[in-house]
C-alpha cells in the first residue's frame, strides 16, 4: 500500500491533483483526491495519505474505509488524537483545515457518509467486506 500511495502522491503533485489512467490502474481517474498530512500518534512520524474526497459545501469529506478492512486505517486515529487542525493538499495548493471525526454514533454520520458513498461508488463494495461502519472525517478550511 505504501508503494501505491507513493506513486499516487508523486502523480498528484506532478499534475496539480489530477490523476489519469496511468496511476493506480486508472482507479482514481476523474475523482477528487486530497493529500492528508497527519502525524503518527505513537511514532511522531509525519505522514501524507492520498484519499478520495467528496465535498460538503466548502468542506471536504473523507472516509476511513481502508477498502473494507476489519479495522480503521491508522491515519484515522492519528487525526482523531491530533490537534484538531491539519494541512491538506488539493489540486495545486495546500490549505489548513479543521478536522472533525464523525463516528457512526453521531447524528451527522449518515448524511456525511452518504455524500462520500455517492461520490465514491466503490463504497458499496467496501461495505460487503466488513460489518464495521467507516468513520467520516470532515475537513473544513480555516483562515
Q: Is 4 among the domain residues?
A: no
The set of residues, in sequence order, having a beta carbon less than 8 Å from that of 5 and lying 6+ positions away, is 49, 50
What pLDDT was estimated at residue 88?
Answer: 98
- Region 111-116: mean pLDDT is 98
- For the chain, state the CA radius of gyration: 14
How far is residue 76's CA from residue 113's CA, in Å, rounded to a whole number?
15
Give pLDDT, residue 10. 92
Asked if residue 9 has pLDDT above 70, the reply is yes
> Would 14 be classed as within a structural domain?
no
Flag whether 18 is in a domain.
no
Q: How confident is the model at residue 22 (pLDDT cuts 50, 70, 90)?
A: confident
> Residue 79 CB: number of other CB atoms within 10 A?
25
> In the predicted model, what is the mean pLDDT of residues 12-28?
80
Q: How many domains is the chain built from?
A: 1
pLDDT band at 20 (very low <50, low <70, confident <90, very high): confident
Give percent of the chain with pLDDT exceeding 90: 80
Residue 115 has phi, psi (to 5 degrees) of -60, -50
Domain limits at 73? Answer: 31-141
Say yes or no to pLDDT of 142 above 80: yes
Under the banding of pLDDT at 50, 70 and 90, the label for residue 81 is very high
Does residue 118 lie in a domain region? yes
Q: Is there a contact between 78 and 38 (Cβ–Cβ < 8 Å)?
A: yes
Whether the per-residue pLDDT at 100 is higher than 70: the answer is yes
pLDDT score, position 4: 78
Amino acid at each position: 500500500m505504501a508503494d501505491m500511495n507513493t506513486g499516487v502522491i508523486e502523480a498528484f503533485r506532478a499534475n496539480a491533483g489530477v490523476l489519469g489512467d496511468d496511476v493506480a490502474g486508472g482507479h482514481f481517474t476523474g475523482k477528487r483526491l486530497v493529500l492528508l498530512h497527519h502525524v503518527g500518534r505513537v511514532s511522531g512520524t509525519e505522514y501524507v495519505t492520498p484519499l478520495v474526497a467528496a465535498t460538503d459545501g466548502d468542506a471536504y469529506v473523507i472516509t476511513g474505509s481502508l477498502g473494507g478492512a476489519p479495522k480503521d486505517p491508522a491515519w484515522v486515529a492519528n487525526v482523531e488524537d491530533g490537534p484538531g487542525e491539519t494541512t491538506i493538499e488539493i489540486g495545486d495548493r495546500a490549505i489548513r483545515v479543521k478536522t472533525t471525526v464523525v463516528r457512526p454514533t453521531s447524528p451527522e454520520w449518515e448524511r456525511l457518509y452518504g455524500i462520500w458513498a455517492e461520490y465514491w461508488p466503490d463504497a458499496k463494495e467496501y461495505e460487503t467486506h466488513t460489518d464495521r461502519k467507516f468513520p467520516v472525517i470532515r475537513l473544513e478550511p480555516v483562515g
